[in-house]
Amino acid sequence: MQNNQPVIGRFAPSPTGPLHLGSLVTAVGSYAMARRLGGRWLLRVEDLDLPRVIPGIADDMLRTLESLGFQWDGEVVYQSRRLDAYQAALEQLIRQGIAYPCGCSRAEIALIASAPHKGDGGLVYPGLCRDGLASEKAERAVRVKVYDEMISFQDCVMGRYSQALSASCGDFVIQRADGPFAYHLAVVVDDAASGVNQVVRGADLLSSTPHQIYLQKILGYPAPTYCHLPLVVNPDGTKLSKRDNAVSLAAGPSSAGSGAGLLLAALRFLGQSPPDQLGNAPCREILDWAAANFDCTLVPRRSAPLEPAHK
């Protein structure tokens, strides 16, 4: 890390379904990369979207991680308990004149946006409310202004990534009118508050990273190092079903094995070569090996199925 700062990584699952193979790979990768550098590994439950949260899943995730030998530092952070922090950041952006209320519906944006073009994240917002909310409109969301600049960063797995927010999404939502704060704002505030300087997560979030770097910049937060891991997919390349690929205690045995088999399969998916004798080792020993030997340069960029690791 820059300036010889101690590494602080994190794993941040959403309790909208049981822990699954893809999230386990992220847990293994983020844990190994933080511990490899002698760093701390934090755990955050991203339960901000309460209507989608399944009761009991967060506790099941924690028990599952413990059963697989994971040990995290400090207390578990729950986003649902941090609304005041997100509100404070929102008010700061409003005071700076960077955030503003928006009364546009998705249908209205679709009609007026520079269609048929769509940005990387969907429709490009045409800035209809940027100079003030029309008198006949009710506030539907709060957006943050973006400008015509390229945001680039060096991902430690995927390489150089660049995006112009003005062309890919336009001014983006940081709070919906029904109350929930947007993912981009919440994770930026949480990472800054916890001192997180290494973010390891799935490649499906790669395109959202420029949004977060932009918010970090205008809020005065330092930007972490980013590492986006390849996704676990079905053999035909389609997205995994959370339900059918669960590895939680409540879901029972996984097709990839249990315990040591799951961890070994995750490590091999990430390009690592754990010795065969670890197949009979306790989970804690496998994670210790990963912490001592994980090599980020070996992680593949392409998504792929996860092959079972049999003991």
Verify whether residue 242 is a known catalytic residue.
Answer: yes
CA–CA separation, 166 vs 150, rounded Å? 9
Q: 31: which 2 tokens?
A: 């844990």
8 Å CB contact between 94 and 281 = no
- Picking from 208, 281, 191, 204, the residue whose alpha carbon sits closest to that of residue 22 is 204
Q: 297: which 2 tokens?
A: 């340069």
Q: 218: which 2 tokens?
A: 């205008």
DSSP 145: -
Q: 274: which 2 tokens?
A: 């754990």
The owner of tokens 């709070």 is: 175
Contacts of 264 (CB under 8 A, 6+ apart): 257, 274, 278, 279, 286, 309
CA–CA separation, 4 vs 46, rounded Å? 29
Catalytic residue among 118, 137, 217, 242: 242
| Pairing assessment for the beta strands 198-202 and 225-229 based on DSSP bridges | parallel
Q: Which residues of 117-145 are buried (b: 16+ CB within 10 A; e: fewer)?
A: eebebebbbbbbbeeebeeebeebbbbbb
Contacts of 195 (CB under 8 A, 6+ apart): 8
Q: Which residues are catalytic?
A: 242
